[in-house]
Amino acid sequence: MLSHFFSDQLIQWQHQYGRKGLPWQGYQSPYLTWVSEIMLQQTQVDNAKPYFIRFIKHYPNVQTLAEANPEDVMRDWAGLGYYARARNLHLSAKIIHQQHNNQFPNSIEELIKLPGIGRSTAGAILAFGFKQRGVILDGNVKRVLSRFFGIFNNPHYQRGNHFYWQVSHLVTPTIDCDVYTQAIMDIGATVCHVKTPQCQICPLQSKCYAEHYHCQHHLPIKKLKKKPKTLKKLFILPVKSGKVGLTRQHTSNIWKGLWCPIIIDTTTSVFDFSHIHYRHIIKDLKHVFTHQTWKIDCILVYPPNDLHNQIDAWYDIHQLDQIGLPKPMQTIKEMIQYEKNLLHETAETT
DNA sequence: AATGCGTGGGC
DNA sequence: TGCCCAAGCAT
């Protein structure tokens, strides 16, 4: 049967060519699997690696994470993006700590009740963390399945996605499920590339639909993408006594939980600079999100001004290393750490 | 059901 | 440079 050829070949390939020695591999630990799976969502391995190592060093098990200061968790995640993942990770750790006595649930139903754990992450936890049968469906799996079996359903629609899940269920073996699961991800990442699939070294080549019909580049069906809007933003950073005033994002979903300057949208409106003493430190810094692009200007503002009531906390240069900052704010932080007199202009002007 | 949510790397 | 993509999930 074709599905047996598929899984057998992958398992055999994995023993010889699969990725080994990644920081989250080599243990049977639902916790490590969980953290790695969350961290790797929509992220590449090389990017997540250093974050994972530091995270596990700080929070080696569910209990330490559950008892951690949320501020520290956000700081350790800062720079990785998709910050809801970090908030949910912390929240789920608390639930496992308080309601499950620090023991991970080992059923799909219980796992997906935890915030941030969906069907695929739950499947990975079962497969890697418990060595049980678990089914996953991520970008790699979709690409390999669509090419090998010739699946033209659109995974971005519910019905298409459902079909992919059915296929993934059908081909996932019970025996050596963890090896198979790692194999299909690894072959997707290292052989069945999006743009340059290495079909000549692929163990699935002889029975691959896409290879037979030379349609690798048409599979899987791509999502239509809208061009992201460009917005102009003004970052206002009040400075006083060598400290900067920051606000914690809570109304906007972008960067929620992180510390930011006062952010003003100047795409259409105009900001009145006439009554403040300021210094323009960044102009047109481009920051690209998935769904929008920001052109950022940043000014340091030296009080007195009427911005004080918008500030949630004042931080000195060193304290900025201890809190969660989004990427552009990390850039700004490095600027003012490097050019320290920026924060002491107050002394000259008062 | 379609959209929102970060960031870095490859070409 | 701009565009595509990468171990998804929540709403």
Q: Which nt sits closest to A330, CA to C1'?
A: B7
What pLDDT, on the 0 to 100 scale, is given for residue A323? 96
What pLDDT, on the 0 to 100 scale, is given for residue A350? 33
Strand B closer than 7 A to residue A69 Cβ: no
Choosing from A37, A67, A110, A334, the catalytic residue is A37
Strand B closer than 7 A to residue A195 Cβ: yes
What pLDDT, on the 0 to 100 scale, is given for residue A307? 80
Q: Domain A229-349 - what CATH class?
A: alpha beta
How confident is residue A134, by pLDDT bands cut at 50, 70 and 90?
very high
What is the 8-class DSSP label of residue A104?
P
Chain B positions with any atom < 7 A from a protein CB: 1-9, 11
A306 pLDDT exceeds 80? no
* Sequence ranges of chain A with CATH classification 1.10.340.30: 2-218
CATH T-level assignment (fold) for domain A2-218 = Endonuclease III; domain 1 (1.10.340)
Strand B closer than 7 A to residue A328 Cβ: yes
The whole-chain average pLDDT of chain A stands at 92
A312 pLDDT exceeds 50? yes
What pLDDT, on the 0 to 100 scale, is given for residue A11? 97
Q: Which residue is nearest to nucleotide C10 (CA to C1')?
A: A116
Q: Which nt sits closest to A44, CA to C1'?
A: C6
A257 pLDDT exceeds 70? yes
- Strands (DSSP E) found in chain A: 229-240, 243-248, 259-260, 262-265, 277-288, 292-302, 313-315
Strand B closer than 7 A to residue A58 Cβ: no
Mean pLDDT of A247-260: 91
Q: For A217-249, how does the pLDDT look when each residue is reduced to its tens digit (9 = 90+)? A: 999 998 877 788 899 999 999 999 899 999 999
Record the tokens describing residue A91, joined without a space.
């929240």
Q: Which nt sits closest to A193, CA to C1'?
A: C5
Record the tokens describing residue A313, joined without a space.
């906390």
Q: Length of chain A, please?
A: 350
- Provide the CA A82 to C1' B7 distance, Å, integer: 9
Q: For A50-80, how does the pLDDT look when each residue is reduced to its tens digit (9 = 90+)? A: 999 999 999 999 999 999 999 999 999 999 9
Q: Yes or no: say if A104 and A34 are a contact pair by the CB < 8 Å rule.
A: yes
Measured CA to CA, the distance from residue A21 to residue A325 in angstroms comes to 31
Q: In the annotation, is A345 catalytic?
A: no
How confident is residue A346, by pLDDT bands cut at 50, 70 and 90?
very low
- Provide the CA A45 to C1' B10 distance, Å, integer: 15
Mean pLDDT of A141-159: 93
Measured CA to CA, the distance from residue A207 to residue A144 in angstroms comes to 12
